[in-house]
Amino acid sequence: MKRHNNPSRSEWGQVCLRPTATLEAMMPTVKTIFDAVKKTGDQALIEYTLKFDQVDCTSFQIPAETISEAKAKIPEPLRKAIGQAHRNITAFHSAQRTNPIRVETQPGVQCWQEKLPIERVGLYIPGGSAPLFSTVLMLAIPAKIAGCKEIVLCSPPQINGTIAPEIRYAAHLCGVTQMFTLGGAQAIAALALGTESVPKVDKIFGPGNQFVTAAKQYASQGSVAIDMPAGPSEVLVAIDASANPAFVAADLLSQAEHGPDSQVVLVTTAPEKINEIQKEIEIQLKALPRKDIAAKALENSKIVSFNKTSMAIEFINHYAPEHYIINVVDTNPYVKNVRHAGSVFIGALTPESFGDYASGTNHTLPTNGYARQYSGVNLDSFQKAITFQEINSEGIQSLGPAVEIMAAAEGLEGHKNAVSLRLKSLQ
């Protein structure tokens, strides 16, 4: 991990760089994949699955019976843990429901807003070396609560051509309606464009590697929406002299093990703790099954120390972390000054792992600094708001003249006439 001691504001841009390739460099490949899927549909998916996943598939849809049968392959302790997480995620996202807003803005003018579900959503679930069944919970549960009619899931195939039983079990538990063994940019293309077997969706959700992120952004230029540009995982841990080095090391490694392009950042006002923490990282790293991946991620990671808490907080907002752990004695100044973060974990006993799995908050969050302008996935992500208005005679007479004046000022006589005719009809 590279150290930075009291970097000046002019250096922050360089310090905050993520270890990711630019999406522009990937767009030609992504465009080629989209063009092929658009032209030949399932045939392109067959070819790309063989090329990228080394799996020879002629059918991508997982039969419904194999989805429900996956339960028998899940150990009971894991089923119970998933059930507990399911309840907490359901409770938190159900509480995000809002009542319709109805306002009489002036006598005779009624305005209201209603939220309706997006009808068909696509969920991308990363597979590979760590099938993320927890992401199924994070996406399918709010989709179900929102009332989405069709929930279509894509996840990369294992070498046997199917999807990990944990993902299939979680999908069955959460009400996923269709599931396909598709990964990478080709899965995003299939969801965005539709093929003979994969339905075109209205909005695509889910994290992935840089090609998946690039594919989602490319897809959003067409007729499909996306949740956010969610790329490689990251965590920023803020500590003071009170922090337990073992806790800090564990939190940093919990994100480093996600992938070699993950980034972990330690921000401290107590530089005397750094050596202890680095020793703990070395000890804990040796015990991790994914130690090679975590070690690679640590090469791109950073330790940033500041003399003043205020500067540390300002830097953290500049970085805009996906996950932000506040492990200090006095959490108040850190918490009240949060401006840019995907999800915040407060106090020494709040590991980021809780949010990843079971506390109830969503773990699909903006990365790569996008927390400055994007929210994490929530119930609203699966809904759209429609506004209504109804005007009676009192309303057209009291507000109509103002609308006529404004329309005339913009030179839009047709707009003015639509009001004038109604006013004359009431004379």
Return the active site residues: 322-323
Residue 278 tokens, joined: 């680095």
Q: What angle do CA 253, 257, 261 make, to 5 degrees?
A: 110
Beta bridge partners of 203: 121, 225
Helix (H) or strand (E) holding 411: none
Query: Tokens 């972390």 sit at which residue?
Result: 321
DSSP at 72: G
Alpha carbons within 13 A on the beta-carbon side of 301: 32
Q: CA torsion angle for 356, 185, 292, 341 (degrees, to 10)?
A: -40
DSSP per-residue letters across 75-100 = -HHHHHHHHHHHHHHHHHHHTT--PP
Pairing of strands 150-155, 178-181: parallel
What whole-number distance in Å separates Cα of residue 7 and Cα of residue 10? 8
Helix axes 23-40, 42-53, angle to 10 degrees: 140
What whole-number distance in Å separates Cα of residue 27 and Cα of residue 214? 7
Pairing of strands 2-5, 302-305: parallel
| CA-to-CA separations, 100 to 83, 385, 387, 406, in angstroms, rounded | 31, 10, 10, 29
368 and 261 Cβ atoms separated by less than 8 Å: no
Residue 236 tokens, joined: 């920023």
| CA-to-CA separations, 292 to 232, 263, 289, in angstroms, rounded | 17, 14, 8
Helix (H) or strand (E) holding 111: strand 109-117
Region of residue 43 (phi > 0: left; psi between -120 and 50: alpha; otherwise: beta): alpha
Alpha carbons within 13 A on the beta-carbon side of 242: 10
Residue 378 tokens, joined: 């929530």
Residues 6 or more apart whose Cβ sits within 8 Å of residue 101: 112, 113
